[in-house]
Structure 1
Amino acid sequence: MKRILTLLPATAVCLAFVSGLAYSIWQIAITTTSVDLPGLLGENLDQSGVENPVTAVLLNFRSYDTLLEIGVLVIAGIAGISVARTSSLEDPELRTSDTLLYALQRWLIPLMLLLAGYLLWAGSDRPGGAFQAGAVLAASGVLMRLGGIPMDFLRPGIMLRLGLSLGFAVFLLVAVTSALHGGEFLAYPPELAKTLIVVIETVLTLSIAMVLLALFVSAPVNNAEEPEEGGSG
């Protein structure tokens, strides 16, 4: 009974939050008029600074959402590093001396780095962008990590903090600067839109790759031996 009473405040808060969220969604549904979003996007695509409608939405028209998503990723990366053992960051147990893996690295890693660069550059007018390029770049780092290639920037220090937060910091700096110069928050000047988007996507690629790689490195390794088949667990 006492346990139930201690859970009542948290339950009440959750119910109030869910009720408020449901009410907000209902109000949006009954008050929002029908809008031709694809047509509206096509009419304003020239002002976005890029030719790819997805990139235009993510980094211009709805860049506020993307900024918050990057913030969540940075928090996840910092949390993962914070709970990881220092030894897992500096001397991981996943390293291997497999000669086949080492041989594959010599071919795959340069190709993956080129692919990441292409995806980053292609994002302005075709499928691609910072998230895709960052994922490929992180996969390159995972392959290097498994092969035992030293990665000093993953050790706790200024390089790790800078890598995790650089993309979000630059994104936020552009947002604040645009607001201070008489515009709106994350409203780019039309003549600088493409340049700013390219800069933001470049640093976001590095930070996204760093966050994903940090989460991989900080993930706990289960050292428990698997029970033999037929044996008792």
Structure 2
Amino acid sequence: MRSPTAYVSVLLLVIMLTALLGRAVWQLAAFDSGSELPRLLQNNLAASGVEHPVTAVLLNFRSYDTLLEIAVLVIAAMVGISMARTRSLEDPELRTADALLRALLRWLVPLMLLLAAYLLWAGADRPGGAFQAGAMLAATGVLMRLTGMPLDFLRPGLLLRIGLVLGFALFLLVGLASAIAGEAFLAYPPGLSKALILSIETLLTLSIGMILLALFVSAPVNNASEHEEGEQ
């Protein structure tokens, strides 16, 4: 049983963090962001390499936020895979004999892959981008797995490791290259912003799709293993 001192320490820590958060929110409220931030964004949008303001913020002006988000996803995928009690994330037992669904997927899979490519390309000037395209790729993989289609890239090995970290690795490499060149971290060279953002988003799409699919696959396999052990 924990001592009262531990509870008091946790309570004081929560109060301190709440006070710091309240102070930060108060300072943000005092800043007239309703007029200043949109103006700054519009004035620098042409130099961002893309035409959509959300993509410009996520992949250029505040790209380090996106880099950290991808790092969290990669870590989560690695933890999920390591906790899966199976030698392969492709579970051969989870298959369906529904011939109609399998025939339907032969039409759906190409359409979903085409939609993922469109979402990736559209992110430059309209809603879309790597996260939406990656989620579409993951959904395609989930449907393929539920019908027993082969997913060799989910087998533990070099291909899986590369796929999980590919987008993050390129993102980090671009940031380090700009820092070594004497620029700010993740500052794109003039004239190369659009090409670098498109390259980063393309690899991020593949990595995000694989990460989400690996998280989906690893959790049910783990639960099934625990259930079987409980029955024994």
TM class, shorter-length? 0.7 to 0.9
Q: Distance in 2 between matches of 1:156 and 1:9?
A: 43
How far 1:5 moved relative to its partner? Answer: 4.5
Contact 2:130 2:201 in 1 (8 A): yes
Q: Distance in 2 between matches of 1:152 and 1:7?
A: 49
Contact 1:48 1:190 in 2 (8 A): no
How far 1:24 moved relative to its partner? Answer: 3.1
1:145 corresponds to = 145
2:212 corresponds to = 212
Question: Secondary structure in 2 aligned to 1:49?
Answer: coil
Q: Structure 1 residue 100 and structure 2 residue 100: aligned? A: yes
Gapped regions of structure 1 (runs ≥ 5): 225-233
Q: Structure 1 residue 79 and structure 2 residue 60: aligned? A: no
Provide closer, same or farther for how the CA distance between residues 2 and 63 of structure 1 changes in structure 2, counting only shifts above 3 A. closer
1:131 corresponds to = 131
One-letter code aligned to 1:72: V
How far 1:53 moved relative to its partner? Answer: 1.5
Q: What TM-score comes out, normalization by structure 2 length?
A: 0.87
Question: Secondary structure in 2 aligned to 1:210?
Answer: helix
Q: Distance in 1 between matches of 2:27 and 2:11?
A: 24
**What does the per-residue CA deviation read over 1:7-62, in whole Å, with 9 as the maximum and x for residues that have no partner?**
444444333333333333334444x3444322221211110111122211110111
1:230 corresponds to = none
Q: Distance in 2 between matches of 1:10 and 1:141?
A: 43
1:64 corresponds to = 64
Provide closer, same or farther for how the CA distance between residues 94 and 18 of structure 1 changes in structure 2, counting only shifts above 3 A. farther
2:122 corresponds to = 122
**What does the per-residue CA deviation read over 1:176-211, in whole Å, with 9 as the maximum and x for residues that have no partner?**
111111110111112110010001000000011011
**What does the per-residue CA deviation read over 1:56-87, in whole Å, with 9 as the maximum and x for residues that have no partner?**
11101111111111111112211211211215
Q: Structure 1 residue 199 and structure 2 residue 199: aligned? A: yes
Greater shift after overlay, 119-128 or 2-11?
Answer: 2-11
Coordinate RMSD, CA, aligned: 2.2
Percent identity over paired residues: 66
How far 1:4 moved relative to its partner? Answer: 4.3
Contact 1:88 1:218 in 2 (8 A): no
Gapped regions of structure 2 (runs ≥ 5): 228-232
Q: What TM-score comes out, normalization by structure 1 length?
A: 0.87
Greater shift after overlay, 118-127 or 207-216?
Answer: 118-127
How far 1:99 moved relative to its partner? Answer: 0.2
Q: Kindly report which structure 2 residues correspond to 1:35-46, keeping only aligned pairs within 5 A, or say none.
A: 35-46=35-46
Q: Structure 1 residue 20 and structure 2 residue 8: aligned? A: no
1:155 corresponds to = 155
One-letter code aligned to 1:93: E
Q: Distance in 1 between matches of 2:65 and 2:153?
A: 29
Q: Distance in 1 between matches of 2:172 and 2:157?
A: 23
Provide closer, same or farther for how the CA distance between residues 7 and 152 of structure 1 changes in structure 2, counting only shifts above 3 A. farther
**What does the per-residue CA deviation read over 1:97-147, in whole Å, with 9 as the maximum and x for residues that have no partner?**
210111011101011111111111121122211111111111111111111
Q: Distance in 2 between matches of 1:37 and 1:22?
A: 21
Greater shift after overlay, 100-109 or 11-20?
Answer: 11-20
Contact 2:95 2:146 in 1 (8 A): yes
**What does the per-residue CA deviation read over 1:130-174, in whole Å, with 9 as the maximum and x for residues that have no partner?**
111111111111111111111111122222121111111111111
- What count of residue pairs does the alignment treat as equivalent? 224
